[in-house]
Structure 1
Amino acid sequence: MACRLLGLTTFVFHASASKVASGAVIWVWPPGTDIYPGESVVLQCGVPPAHPGPQQDGWSYAWFRHGLRRAPPALHPPRHLAYRDTYAITGAAAEDAGGYRCRAEGPGSEVNGSGVTLFSEEVRLTVSDDTVILKGPYLVSEGDRVILHCQFRKGGGRRTATFFKDGVELATRSSGLAMENVSKAQEGFYKCTSPDRTLESPESWLSVQWTWIISSVAGGLLLFSIGLIIWLIHHRWGKQRSALDRRWPSSKADVASADVPETKQDVTEVQWDLSWMEMSGLLDKP
């Protein structure tokens, strides 16, 4: 039976509480590390409250793929966007699967001879062609309400499914499996199947964490989302303005000599066309 991770399963499964509290943590949005080809995902690096928050001045971040240091800019797909504590992938493909880690360096980090450097555990993304995958958050706090969904690649996305925990059937639901006031008792391996058991998702581990992880990272994720929207609007307006400038003469003298475009400029297309070299430069700024 294949086994997939909803998130940082080994972060709790193999580490003591003190180690968990001292490291950086990666938040995944939308929840879950199993994604279908073509979907998008955002990773964000979070820092425990025992250290100055990532929103404060002086922190810098680095992202690592497949256990290696950042590759040369030419090797990074244009669909990948890294900015400070955030790493976004749009239009996921098979080559995007694998492990991702982040490093957070406080002011005067050990790289510079003093201070603190925090590493996250590896988050493994799976770009899956499986018929069924289990979708749900991996960073949840005790007392939270959690909903797991069974997502079908064909036949309407989410639909009625039977849910299991550690091999024991829990319930059959059409709107997902909801768990109120979760505790450590809810940790375990979950999977879902079609009601007739002919379709089955891989098992995924769900763990319950501390409140700081949610509060410290979710706020930063919201700020990044707002910034991303602004960037996309600005990017789209820049394309529109450039297209208008090419078509609209600046003076009467230019009317006769103005070239008529052969095709209409597509001003609605939005792409991740910011080069990795530019984003790598931003990433190294505090």
Structure 2
Amino acid sequence: MNMILIPSWLGVAAFLHLLVASLEDLKVILTLWPPDTKVFLGECLLLQCTVEGNSTFGWRYRWFRSEPGASRMEKSPRHMLSGGSYSITAVTSEDGGRYWCQAQPNGNATEALLSRPITLNVSGLDPPSLTLAPNSRQLFIGETFTLQCPKNLTNSSVWVQSQTLTNHLTKLSDSMTATCSSQNNPGRSGTCVVSATRGHSGLYWCEGAGGRSNAIHLTISSGPVIMRTPVYSVPQGSSTVLSCRYRKGNYTKSTFFRNGVKAYTCNSSGVGTETKLTLENVGEEHEGFYKCASQDGKLESPQSWLSVKRNLFSVDEPASSSSGSWIWVVVSCIIMILIPLAYLLIHHLRHKMLYTHSCWTIPGEETPAGGLPATKQDGTEVQWDLSWMEMSNLLSPGT
């Protein structure tokens, strides 16, 4: 038995030795799309982990994130993993930090390769905005859509990073199904009219003199139904329209799901292939992934993200509450000073009124002959020692 086991263990050791030697020739590369570590609020990003070198191994991937003040990453529906791809939908300020990936050969639990980290710096400034028409994250194959670069990006071109082809980055003007104009005219933005194909699913952004625009993500579908949500963030408190659009047929009622849970059932406004859902007074509770299905449940769209843009006052709420507390402190101090002053003023006026009233002669009444009683005025005491008659005689003229 021992004679059989020893060669087996030698074979395993030899395999591990060859595995380690082959891993030394490999390198894990982490790539960011768009290729700019300064990222904007509300845009879409893609991180791709690839192994470079001659290798016949199958790979499995793990992702890591380190952010200031946090020991681990909280799960978010906006962060989606798919093998060597890590996508972030609608970037928020919490998405800043370092990201890296690990590649491990299938069947090996000990050897692994790490990439170098990429640090994302989220900018709070509004980016130059890429314009899309129609304003929808999902489109059917064969539909036409238009992309226009921001006017303040001169000599700008539209770039697409296709998800169907790994690391496939091209200028959209090179596509046979896209017609682009004004790409090289200074002071004018680039515009591309595209007939959608499956290869057009992916990230789009503009690059020109002075930087790049925000990146948006489009999904080109060959399925029977799509869920149309705005590609840009909807301002909090406003209204927006979502629609369930069928490629063909007549569907009078559709069911809308939010984060996998049935949320709304809507009737079509007429005979057609589209059912619309209007959301009023949009808030944070409306944000999430939406999908729709036909009334019988046989047709179901891919899910599509609805992003809500927070108002400025909600972002600055801690600072506002802090300044508000200071205002209350100042008001309280003023009140504590004014109340004693008001009391003293009222007391002084009351004293003055009483003193003046005691000196007035009341019409219709005779002055008492017996004399006027002594009057005390707070801390000062005045005595009338002479009788009223004697005082009158002293004041009489000719005396």
Give the TM-score of the pair, scaled to structure 2. Answer: 0.40
Amino acid paired to 1:130 = G
* Residue in structure 2 matching 1:144, options 205, 219, 238: 238
What is the letter of the counterpart of residue 180 of structure 2? L
Residues 191-210 of structure 1 correspond to what in structure 2 (within 5 A)? 191-209=291-309
Q: Is the Cα–Cα contact under 8 Å of residues 159 and 205 in structure 2 kept in the other structure?
A: yes
2:285 aligns with 185
Q: Equivalent residue for 2:247?
A: 153
Q: Do residues 68 (structure 1) and 161 (structure 2) align?
A: no
1:45 aligns with 2:149: yes
Are the equivalent residues in 1 in contact too, given 2:43–2:91 (CA < 8 A)? Answer: no
Residue 119 of structure 1 and its aligned partner are, at CA, apart by 4.1
Letter matched to residue 169 of structure 2: L
Match of 1:12 in 2: 91
Between the aligned partners of 1:15 and 1:87, the Cα distance in structure 2 is 31
1:20-39 equivalences in 2 (<5 Å): 21-39=125-143
How far apart, in 1, do the equivalents of 2:302 and 2:169 lie? 27
Give the AA of the match of 2:175: H
Q: 1:185 is paired with a residue of what secondary structure?
A: helix
> Which residue of 1 is the match for residue 217 of structure 2?
124
* Distance in 2 separating the partners of 1:148 and 1:102: 26
1:185 to 1:34, Cα distance in 2 relative to 1, 3 A: same
The answer to whether the 8 Å contact 1:61/1:102 transfers is yes
The Cα shift of 1:87 comes to: 3.3
Question: Deviation string for 1:76-118 (max 9, x for gaps)?
Answer: 3153224343433343223333332212434xxxxxxxxxx23
Query: What is the aligned-residue RMSD (CA, Å)?
Result: 3.2
The letter for the 1-side match of 2:229 is: G
Gapped regions of structure 1 (runs ≥ 5): 1-5, 47-53, 107-116, 213-286
Find the residue that maps to 1:148 and give its secondary structure.
strand
Cα deviation, 1:248-282, whole Å, max 9, x if unaligned, reads xxxxxxxxxxxxxxxxxxxxxxxxxxxxxxxxxxx
Letter in 1 for 2:178: R
Q: Which has the higher strand share?
A: 2
Residues 22 and 177 of structure 1, relative CA distance in 2, 3 Å threshold: closer
Name the CA distance, whole Å, in 2 between partners of 1:120 and 1:173: 33
Q: Tell me if structure 2 keeps the 8 A contact 1:7–1:32.
A: no
Report the CA distance between 1:125 and its aligned residue: 2.5
- 2:271 is aligned with 1:171: no
RCO higher in structure (CA 8 A, sep ≥6): 1
Deviation at 1:134, TM superposition (A): 0.5
Specify every segment of 5 or more residues in structure 2 that has no aligned partner in the other structure, as ranges: 1-41, 45-87, 97-120, 162-167, 183-187, 269-275, 313-399
Give secondary structure in 1 for the equivalent of 2:149. Answer: strand
C-alpha separation in 1, matches of 2:131 and 2:195: 19
Letter in 2 for 1:12: V
* 1:132–1:151 Cα contact (<8 Å) kept: yes
Partners in 1 of 2:252 and 2:123 — Cα distance?
Answer: 39
Residues 154 and 189 in structure 2, CA contact (< 8 A), matched pair in contact too? no
Instruction: Report the AA paired with residue 142 of structure 2.
Output: G
SS at structure 1 position matched to 2:125: helix
In the alignment, structure 1 residue 81 sits paired with structure 2 residue 174:
no
Q: TM-score, normalised by structure 1?
A: 0.55
| Pairwise CA distance, 1:146 | 0.7
Task: Indicate the percent of aligned positions where both proteins have the same amino acid.
Answer: 30
Corresponding letter in the other structure for 2:197:
A
Max Rg structure:
2
Q: 1:196 to 1:188 in 2, by over 3 A?
A: same
1:246-261 correspondence runs (5 A) = none
Aligned residues: 184
1:143 is paired with a residue whose SS is: coil
CA contact (8 A) 1:11 1:20 kept: no
Contact 2:240 2:282 in 1 (8 A): yes
